[in-house]
Amino acid sequence: MLIIKFLLSYSQIIKYKMSLFIKKPLDKLLAEAAETGEHTLKRTLGSGALLALGVGAIIGAGIFVRTAAAAGNHAGPGVMISYIIAGIGCAFAGLCYVEFASMIPIAGSAYTYSYATMGELIAWIIGWDLILEYALGAATVAIAWSEYLNKFCEHYFGFTIPYEWCHSPFQSEMINGMASGVHGIMNIPALVVLALLTLILIKGTKESANFNSIIVIIKVVIVLVFIGLGWSFIRPENHAQIIPTNIGETQLMNGEIGFFDFFKNFWGEFGVSGVLKGAGIVFFAYVGFDAVSTAAQEAKNPQKGMPIGILGSLAFCTVLYILFSYVLTGIANYSEFSVTGEGHEAAVAYAINKYMIGYEWFGGLITIAILAGFSSVILVMLLGQSRVFYSMSKDGLLPKAFSEIHPKYKTPAKATMWLFLLVGIFAAFVPGDVVGDMCSIGTLFAFILVSAGVIIMRKTNPDTPRPFRVALVPLIPILGIVVCGLMIIGLGAENWIRLFIWLAIGFVIYFGYSKKHSKLNNPDKK
């Protein structure tokens, strides 16, 4: 009798384990991708629009804000190398994204790919994790938008928004390095821009893409003009030491400390460790190229458009980032961009106004372009997140409201409105640096799983047609996993803890709601 009870219990455990890792059949995904009708997303995006979506998402807070933060606190002029490291990691992951997006042209991005390759629990983890990438990415950029709005108001109208109403309650005003006693209450400008862009997204995907394309042209031109004008203001002494010395590395080389003592303090400021940590920070500047894959179900020709949108935007922006960081750290010394430096916020305008004599007018113009550029980043991030919610809801892992299509605009309007509420809370009440680092670690985790998914799919579905194939599998995906893993390490233990807490909350929701409503695990439920 005991043996029978044991066998029954064991079989129940095996059955439960299998239900956690049940995979969504590839033929079912391809059937969903081919669906048409009033309850599906419209295919309205061409290759040019997809490329503009990628560039629109990438060039924003990362290049204008995180470049200065990484240079001033960790990498110095070596932030150029940080961008190269981050770009290499993204390139490996980007190739994996393109293989999936061209093979499975459906909304959901890494969530959908994980469902097909690693099962429901992993898909839920990555779907929950993507909130860190897209939703918190949108919140980070909205906070940066608020900072630059203040610069715009100061430059053109001679006033600034009161500190209390454009900062988080966890921030306090610093004047000349001293606390003024004024604390933030709520970031209202960040909420306003989120609300306006939410309305545009609800109106339609094509309209949103057209709005984004116009803004992309404006901000790319402005970045190129900054590089062109700023080149003649580069001071060679600012690039005399590309990688500033880390004190611990110097002591190690001089034999003053042992390797073990050095390793304990490896993730310090500057030096090689600073460049690696800088890579984890500026990685945020690349967040967004994968958002193109979330629009695969709205692409006219995803087999052609996905490689152009993902890899094209990544290559273009990497070159632009390296040139931009070279000019910025050449005009102003990296130490001026530290936490205590004057130019930490609105660094580009600061460098122009202080060092580019005769071009002060350009500081105001670039602030306008940055505001517009940030707007396109927020737009693409919100679009990407709403499409992930849409896919998760279609699978039953989120409430049905998230996959309801607006009868007139053919967009997931309810998901977009709920997303505004979620993003708005972070943008209004959480400091930008905290939100940005959480976004980076969430994105890197997603890249690792997508890279692993390509290896698994090659084993489980070797004969499935692949319009785009990653070369040198498993080498390329493994390199993507390794580089992204190193950048996660560079973000430090504090951000790992935040990630674990976020995932723990996700597990509670999955086992409390999602597993019970999963359409794969509960086929009788509608």
Outline where DSSP puts E strands in 50-110: none
pLDDT attached to residue 331: 93
Q: Which residues contact 518 (CB under 8 A, 6 or more apart)?
A: 120, 395, 396, 397
At 91, the amino acid letter reads: A
Which range of residues forms the domain containing residue 244?
Answer: 45-517
| Arithmetic mean of pLDDT, 29-52 | 72
Residue 34 lies in a domain: no
Residue 20 lies in a domain: no
Q: Report how far apart the first and last C-alpha atoms of the chain are (Å, whole number).
A: 39
> Would you say residue 481 has pLDDT above 70?
yes
Residue 36 lies in a domain: no
Q: Are 302 and 41 in contact (CB under 8 A)?
A: no
| Arithmetic mean of pLDDT, 59-83 | 81
Give the torsion through C-alpha atoms of 29, 307, 370, 348, to 10 deg. 130
Residue 408 lies in a domain: yes
> Would you say residue 342 has pLDDT above 50?
no
| Arithmetic mean of pLDDT, 178-199 | 87
Residue 265 lies in a domain: yes
Percent residues over pLDDT 90 in the chain: 15
> Would you say residue 476 has pLDDT above 90?
yes
Higher-scoring residue by pLDDT: 227, 32: 227
Which CATH number is 460's domain given? Answer: 1.20.1740.10
What is the token pair recorded at 35? 């669906």
28-32, 176-180, 222-226: which is most confident: 222-226
> Would you say residue 85 has pLDDT above 50?
yes
Higher-scoring residue by pLDDT: 79, 373: 79
Binning pLDDT at 50, 70 and 90, where does residue 15 land? Answer: low
Helix, strand and coil percent figures for the chain, each rounded to 5: 75, 5, 25
Residue 13 lies in a domain: no
Q: What is the 3-state secondary structure (H, E, C) of 310-331?
A: HHHHHHHHHHHHHHHHHHHHHH
Residue 158 lies in a domain: yes
Q: How many domains does the chain fold into?
A: 1
Residue 403 lies in a domain: yes
> Would you say residue 192 has pLDDT above 60?
yes
| Arithmetic mean of pLDDT, 30-50 | 71
Ranges 73-77, 213-217, 299-303: which has the least confidence: 299-303
> Would you say residue 262 has pLDDT above 90?
no
Ranges 139-148, 240-249, 487-496, 512-521: which has the least confidence: 240-249
